[in-house]
């Protein structure tokens, strides 16, 4: 290029080499699964230079790791409730390290542990609680069934919305032994078990007035 004074001006060019640490995007299907189903977690990285290493971590434990890649996937073949939790994807290049997180929730039907209750003559009211433990922790309850120690049906009892049932009042102390027996409660959180059952059953073994009762 010529200037007005007849001098030649050269045109300089420069190349910018912009480097940046990884930017992560997550892809997972789905993030809520029923126990026994599979779930795949994928994480991709955009960075300059490309990542030297990517890895998945669950609760501080490395689950998957790959070198010189911009995509890493971790697959859970058959999920269990122990797989619920926080999963973090990490990517690293010579500029820095970045991570992103996804929360996986494994749904499972209620577990209702057996209970043993002992009522005395002065216990009023006599209330039983159906203790359900599942995910999601929102339950509907079926009617209770009172059976004898030999499995004979005695009566049905209607539960409260919170899964409790109060035994009918017996004013005659000599007849409070009638509360003895096994009480069956059922609960559902709309998650079916491996047999296709929505409602799960628990047992409460009741001894009234100190009468001997064995399972």
Residues 207-214: what's their mean pLDDT?
Answer: 58
Q: Do domains 20-108 and 112-208 have the same CATH topology?
A: yes
State phi, psi for 173 to the nearest 5 degrees.
-60, -30
pTM value is 0.79
Both structure tokens of 103: 């929360």
pLDDT tens across 33-61, in order? 999 999 999 999 999 999 999 999 999 99
CATH of 112-208, one of 3.90.950.20, 3.30.2000.20, 2.60.40.10, 3.20.20.330: 2.60.40.10
Closest CA to 49 of 17, 96, 93: 93
Closest CA to 42 of 89, 103, 92: 89
Q: Quick check: 18 pLDDT over 50? A: yes
Residue 47 vs residues 15, 67, 87, 93, 136: alpha-carbon distances, Å: 18, 14, 21, 8, 39
Q: Where are the domains of the chain?
A: 20-108, 112-208
Residue 123 pLDDT class (50, 70, 90 cuts): confident
Instruction: Name the DSSP class of 173.
Output: G
Cβ atoms of 104 and 39 closer than 8 Å: yes
At the second CATH level, the architecture of 20-108 is Sandwich (2.60)
- Please identify which residue in the block is written with the tokens 């911009």: 70
> What is the sign of the dihedral through the CA atoms of 106, 107, 108 and 114?
positive
Residue 215 pLDDT class (50, 70, 90 cuts): very low
């Amino acid at each position: 290029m010529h200037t007005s004074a007849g001098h030649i001006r050269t045109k300089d060019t420069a190349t910018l080499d912009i480097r940046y640490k990884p930017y992560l995007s997550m892809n997972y299907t789905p993030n809520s699964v029923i126990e026994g189903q599979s779930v795949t977690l994928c994480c991709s990285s955009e960075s300059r230079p490309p990542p030297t290493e990517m890895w998945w971590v669950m609760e501080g434990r490395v689950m998957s790791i790959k070198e010189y890649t911009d995509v890493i996937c971790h697959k859970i073949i058959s999920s269990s409730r122990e797989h619920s939790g926080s999963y973090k994807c990490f990517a690293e290049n010579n500029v820095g390290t970045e991570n992103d997180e996804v929360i996986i929730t494994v749904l499972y039907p209620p577990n209702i542990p057996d209970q043993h209750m002992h009522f005395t003559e002065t216990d009023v009211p006599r209330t039983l609680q159906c203790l359900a433990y599942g995910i999601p922790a929102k339950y509907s309850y079926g009617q209770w069934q009172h059976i004898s120690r030999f499995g004979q049906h005695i009566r049905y009892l209607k539960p409260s919305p919170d899964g409790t049932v109060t035994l009918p009042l017996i004013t005659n102390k000599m007849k409070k032994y009638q509360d003895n027996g096994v009480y069956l409660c059922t609960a559902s959180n709309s998650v079916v078990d491996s047999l296709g059952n929505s409602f799960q059953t628990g047992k409460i073994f009741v001894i009234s007035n100190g009468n001997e009762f064995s399972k």
